[in-house]
Structure 1
């Protein structure tokens, strides 16, 4: 029996997953994992952070890929948030498949209501598309039209346990992209 059932609370917990793609990266002579942000990325990341702050979501946890461009994006974006969530740098997010990302979501502790993932395409776009069983307004059309560019984010709401996250479980409630 779950804690909610023991307490008599039969309403599933409302949760949000925010998927942020890293900002624009440069292409110097380094390994892909070590690519830093380009000048445009260093300008877009704080803007994305301000837009994340405007959502009013108080993230309980941020999972960030270990790649240099995602770490740098997060470092620039997090300063714009009203409070800094606990951050875990997760190596499994680098080059993660859709299945890998869903598995990470399924491992999230149930005391976390709102989760932020900072990662890469094609995985971030595929995850947003897969989780969005429904959508509010034109968010899905805009997301798919734009191809989930760098520094873009999607907000997906769902109810229930993190272990229940699967295809079509959520509602795409917001999509934002710079230069849109």
Structure 2
């Protein structure tokens, strides 16, 4: 059974202020709108992952919540993983490898450069630096989640908010 992973970079967040920790940065209104556009795009493609995992940082959690609301995924069931904030690409891979075999799809929302590196590592395709709010869909054939690793997937699509209409 093919499986699909949707890798999402959080949408635009406020700039870091002297008094604020990087972890606590919030989405801007533009970021909220961009996440909603991406969510609508996914909804139009009838994409609803079996599980949605997010970094604990507010900008990632809120991106995940906005997308979840747009696609009809219950935001209360979003799984938060504190290692996705600063655990590096290995933390993302560990979260993916721990997924149960009965899931056909998963979405993971996190931070650059880790998400861009992860997409390129899994597919061995040039992704570049994912823009804020962008999604890369990666499909895997003949592997289960525990076997997902370098060069095991291929890019099904890549989309950024700026590529979508703003109406």
TM-score (norm 2): 0.88
Runs of 4+ residues over 2 Å off in structure 1: 54-58, 82-86
State the secondary structure of the residue aligned to 1:48. helix
Post-superposition offset of 1:83: 3.7
Match of 2:146 among 158, 163, 166: 163
Aligned pairs for 1:79-98 (under 5 A) are: 79-84=69-74, 86-98=77-89
Match of 1:20 among 8, 17, 21: 8
Distance 1:38 1:58 in 2: 25
The residue aligned with 2:121 is: 130
Distance 2:112 2:45 in 1: 22
Alpha carbons of structure 1 residues 58 and 78: separation in structure 2 relative to 1, 3 Å: closer
Asked if structure 2 preserves the Cα contact closer than 8 Å seen for 1:57 and 1:114, the reply is: no
Q: Which entry has the higher C-alpha Rg, 1 or 2?
A: 1
State the secondary structure of the residue aligned to 2:53. strand
The residue aligned with 1:177 is: 160
Matching of residue 99 in structure 1 with residue 87 in structure 2: no
Distance 2:50 2:29 in 1: 30
State the secondary structure of the residue aligned to 1:168. coil
Give per-residue Cα distances to partners, 1:17-38, cap 9 Å, x unaligned. 0001100000244111110011
Give per-residue Cα distances to partners, 1:56-85, cap 9 Å, x unaligned. 223110111000101111222211103437
Distance 1:39 1:90 in 2: 24
Gaps of 5+ in 2: none
Alpha carbons of structure 1 residues 66 and 83: separation in structure 2 relative to 1, 3 Å: closer
The residue aligned with 1:54 is: 44
Match of 1:110 among 101, 112, 120: 101
Post-superposition offset of 1:39: 2.1
